[in-house]
Structure 1
Amino acid sequence: MKAGRKVWSVLMLTLIIAVIAAGCGGGNGKNTGGNAQPGNSAGTTKTSTKDNKDVVIAVNANFITLDPHNASDTNSISGARTMYEGLLGFDENMGLSPALATEYKISDDGLTYTFTLREGVKFHDGTDFNSEAVAINIARIQDEKNNLRLRKSFAKVAKVETPDAKTVVFTLTEPYNAFLNKVAMAGMISPKALEEKGENIVKEPVGTGAFKFKEWVQGDRLVVVKNEEYWQVGVPKVDSVTFRPVPENGSRIAMLKTSEADFIYPMPTEQVSEVEGVEGIKINKVDSTIVRYVTLNTTKKPYDDLKVRQAINYAINKEAYIKVVKSGLGKKLDSTMSSKTQHYSQQNGYDFDLEKAKSLLAEAGYPNGFEAEIWGENDSETIKGMQFISQQLAQVGIKVEVKSMEGGTLSDMINSAKTPEEAKIQMWYVSWSPSSGDADGATRGLFSSEMWPPAGANTAYYKNENVDKWIAEANKSIDPKVAKDIYANIQKTIWEDAPWAFMGVDQIVSGSRDYLNGVKVYPDGSINIRQAEVK
């Protein structure tokens, strides 16, 4: 019986690979972000040069917002970070680094954070950056009427004091061990611009960053230009950067080959071997904090049944997923977060087992499976992933309709539901990376019952009283060892509750022309262009 199952699994895997390769391979399809033509073959690509300092970066999806206090998708975070800075920032390993603050001190009880601000910094509109600007930004974040995504990250801030222009003091209601990471997420907006532009600040950013806003044409381009008055000497080194959303994989790779794009991310994984080692093109790989998963709406039948959720996990061959969808550039997800994320704890189980999946479905009252739908964005790789999942689940009788949508439309579909009863979402194939770099960023927004849409990204509508309690306890812990133990309990419990189909962890792959240096994709998937340089 074991040998027979193994042969059957191999035959099914071969069939799935053939179907997906035929239907979803990167091609020269419609380019929604530019006018790329099919590139030359890899063997004829020549070493290239660039005679200007205007850089083009092709990404896989649209920007949803440029509000640094409300961005949650990786592309929007990347766009906002070109123009905005926080008191702290992140280095290429997601460690904290100085930015608008040169230093900070934390009181022994973990309640008071005192920041010394960088002097001589100006916003893009010429106004001074100072402690009062920080206070105004935090007030905006905390204002419930604004309903910004960062609000819960600053909910424990009781008061913000500004004893002088270069000093700001945060007093918390209770210890919050992820606070510094949240501070790094909060880009500072010009108070003058907030007053004059109002809601238009979302589309017309005014920060302190190395680049200034020029234009944003939704679905076509975001253009930022050099900030001549930037506080860091010698930065930036290019005149402008244009981001172009190009969902179709084949179009992005064609743009790279023809130098219509100087940098592309993500690099289509199925085409890495085609261009790797080719003159004129560099391939960059980084281990990531990006996890791929399918949220299962735990408030709706049949996903409210634990056995159904577990069956879905057993029915999907995660190793085949990495091979087929990610071209081997990644690994199976074995917890609720990547091993590169703070306080990660490895879990066991949910190995591919069709018989176990069928048995669990039968026990749950679905011996013949059921009909379902899965949502996702409309880029090539996401569609490929959803089709793979649909093929896998069909083996146990779950008939999945694939529904791909543009990112903004998908976000509206999810966040327009004010209550779980209004939610139409069943399954959502998506990725998440804690852009704050901490375990809280990989946990609270996804699994706390306070973070159901539209307040957060808990699109599984998952609720576990112990998990809610532990998240609060972990945040209060000043001792990292205690926090690590708590997060281990959180990950184990969520893993067993299976509000997700746990898929994989990405290896980040980007491509660039060899004349471009300094553009980096961080482990959270955000693109950093501050050190971009054309040589």
Structure 2
Amino acid sequence: MNMRKSTVIGLALIFVFSSVLVACGSKDASSNGKTLIWGRGADTKSLDPAQVTDGESLKVTKNIYDTLVDYKEENTEVEPGLAESWETSKDQKTWTFHLKKGVKFQDGSDFNAEAVVFNFERWMDKKNPYHKGGEFPYYGYMFGGYKGDKGHVINEVKAVDENTVQFTLKEPQGPFLANIAMPPFAIASPKAIKKDPEGLGKHPVGTGPFTFEKWKKNDTITLKKNKDYWKKGFPKLDKVIFKSMPDNSARFTALQSGEIDVMDGLNPDDAKTVKQNSKLKLSEQQGMNVAYLAFNMDKDTPVKDKKVRQALNYAVDKQSIIKSVYAGLATPAINPMPDSIWGFNKNVKDYSFDLEKAKKLLKEAGYEKGFKLELYAPSDPRPYMPDGRKVAEVIQSDWKKIGVDVKIVSYDWQTYLDRTGKGQHEAALFGWSGDNGDPDNFLYVLLDKDNTRTPDAGNISFYKSDSLHKDLIKAQRSTDKNERTKLYEDAQEIIKDDAPWVPLVHATPGIAYQSYVKNGNFTHPLNNDKLVKMDIQK
């Protein structure tokens, strides 16, 4: 081979090799299409939406599955989803849904009324052969338990014909329509469930805009475009990668370098940096959330005494927490739900930061010399709490001044959920992001005695008040918004006096993203991370 010829071949090989590197290294190269990488603070627990309550799981499942009805892009009002229309009886005990025709599950099987019935019977009936893979916690939270339970509100779900499904309730339920729009009640493929009911959590099959591709635990979940999605022209993205990056600062560095396209869990202090960077944009979500400290009233500790719980409420400096942890991007929480939700009781007065009152109450309760208490703090950032350890340290410092010696304990997010759901904590920092814009979703789910069921308790205070339960059930069964408002206002007064929590803050979570990311709808009050309309336009 002569020198000239070998040189030409060598240059050609270098060109080919360089082209391969460019194609492999670029996220939006033509061979890969439009790929969006979303950086987040923790991994998903399960991809079966009926089995989870955590936002990191539902963030992904929202894009694989659809629900019968959905929330509007701008608010929490309900609009059609897999059901194109519906009507209800005068007493609101019978709801009839007319389903979209021609919709397919991602495994090619038909979506129809029988599929809806199959899913609801799987969730509600513990004797159902496909009631496997977990405890279906959200179903119990929102519908008063399960089939056979005294408070269970759904009497029957039946297929009237192929495209019509009917729900019969034992009692009317005010938030029923808003409830079934929630992502845990998305409809999964009966074919996939029958094949492996427990495997749905690792190999999800819905009707949504993206299909599941792969999951690398504690690293990435990859979804690809559902080319047969029933909403024509969507999704705009070809691939979505959810990347777990527990450290907020490292995640922000990845955003600045272009390694990721979107990040949640932004350190509040970094918001100014985003605003100063022309290549980045910042969205501040409406704060339909609450961060709180829950006292476990089932544990044999001093917090079983109401005076002790009230004392500890007086000894939390919420403004200090907002300043040192949230950089001002939060407001003090008075009640267990934010004032952006109807039914908020504006007349409830918060416990002021008053260490002398706290000491006085501890003395009256017989704990003048204080006591020891173990406090769980999440190690992973959450939208309502960007740094749980720092929040715990502020509280630890304040409580030390009244003689309460706090030991802070942290676990990874999945272990944290497991241990608090089983009631293994003495006290725990936690939070909630609203699911449907109804007061029931905060007060009943988080504080009613019905939801102290383990191993997935929604009420991790294990607070059991008969008077509160009476108000909340009456409010649930009413379809009169004025009546429901009065009942919820009364409920908040009961909760404030009993003090099962220290409501801490309502956060304003920041989402930062590259300027070329379009149609994100990041400000939705329900943390709307559905990516069906999102696009990359460079």
Provide the TM-score with structure 1 as the length reference: 0.87
Question: What stretches of structure 1 of length at least 5 have no aligned partner?
Answer: 1-47, 418-422
Task: Give the stretch that moved more between structures: 434-443 or 82-91.
Answer: 434-443
How many angstroms apart in 1 are the aligned matches of 2:274 and 2:62? 30
What letter matches 1:523 in structure 2? P
SS in 2 for 1:459: coil
- Aligned counterpart for 2:137 among listed residues 141, 144, 149: 149
Structure 1 counterpart of 2:444? 444
CA RMSD, 1 decimal: 1.6
SS in 2 for 1:400: strand
What letter matches 1:401 in structure 2? K
What letter matches 1:508 in structure 2? P
Matches within 5 A, 1:341-356: 341-346=341-346, 347-356=348-357
On the 8 A contact 2:418/2:456 being kept in 1, the answer is: no
Task: Give the stretch that moved more between structures: 450-459 or 259-268.
Answer: 450-459
On the 8 A contact 1:518/1:530 being kept in 2, the answer is: no
1:88 aligns with 2:40: no
Structure 2 counterpart of 1:66? 47
On the 8 A contact 2:158/2:165 being kept in 1, the answer is: yes
- Aligned counterpart for 1:53 among listed residues 14, 34, 41: 34
Q: Report the CA distance between 1:524 and its aligned residue.
A: 3.1
Q: Deviations over 1:449-486 (max 9, x none)?
A: 12113253111010111111111111110211111111
Structure 2 counterpart of 1:183? 180
Structure 2 counterpart of 1:388? 394
Structure 2 counterpart of 1:78? 59
Q: Report the CA distance between 1:379 and its aligned residue.
A: 2.2
On the 8 A contact 2:281/2:515 being kept in 1, the answer is: yes
Q: Deviations over 1:325-347 (max 9, x none)?
A: 11100100021101122422232
Matches within 5 A, 1:131-170: 131-145=113-127, 146=131, 147-152=135-140, 153-154=142-143, 155-170=152-167
On the 8 A contact 2:285/2:527 being kept in 1, the answer is: no
- Aligned counterpart for 1:413 among listed residues 408, 411, 419: 419
Q: Report the CA distance between 1:412 and its aligned residue.
A: 2.1
Instruction: State the identity as a percent.
Output: 32
SS in 2 for 1:256: helix
Matches within 5 A, 1:492-511: 492-511=493-512
On the 8 A contact 2:293/2:503 being kept in 1, the answer is: yes
1:253 aligns with 2:252: yes
Q: Report the CA distance between 1:436 and its aligned residue.
A: 2.6
Instruction: Call closer, same or farther: CA 1:424–1:455 in 2, change over 3 Å.
Output: closer
How many angstroms apart in 2 are the aligned matches of 1:250 and 1:273? 14
Structure 2 counterpart of 1:529? 531
Matches within 5 A, 1:437-476: 437-452=437-452, 453-476=454-477
Structure 2 counterpart of 1:402? 408
Q: Report the CA distance between 1:151 and its aligned residue.
A: 2.9
1:234 aligns with 2:238: no
Task: Give the stretch that moved more between structures: 67-76 or 486-495.
Answer: 67-76
On the 8 A contact 1:508/1:525 being kept in 2, the answer is: no
SS in 1 for 2:508: strand
Q: Deviations over 1:29-80 (max 9, x none)?
A: xxxxxxxxxxxxxxxxxxx996551111011122112112122111111111
Q: Report the CA distance between 1:94 and its aligned residue.
A: 2.3
> Which of 1 and 2 has higher RCO (CA within 8 Å, sep 6+)?
1
Structure 2 counterpart of 1:329? 329
Structure 1 counterpart of 2:433? 433
Provide the TM-score with structure 2 as the length reference: 0.87
The 4+ residue runs of structure 1 with deviation greater than 6 A are none
Q: Report the CA distance between 1:398 and its aligned residue.
A: 1.5
Matches within 5 A, 1:219-368: 219-300=218-299, 301-346=301-346, 347-368=348-369
What letter matches 2:433 in structure 1? S
On the 8 A contact 1:77/1:526 being kept in 2, the answer is: no
On the 8 A contact 2:103/2:111 being kept in 1, the answer is: yes
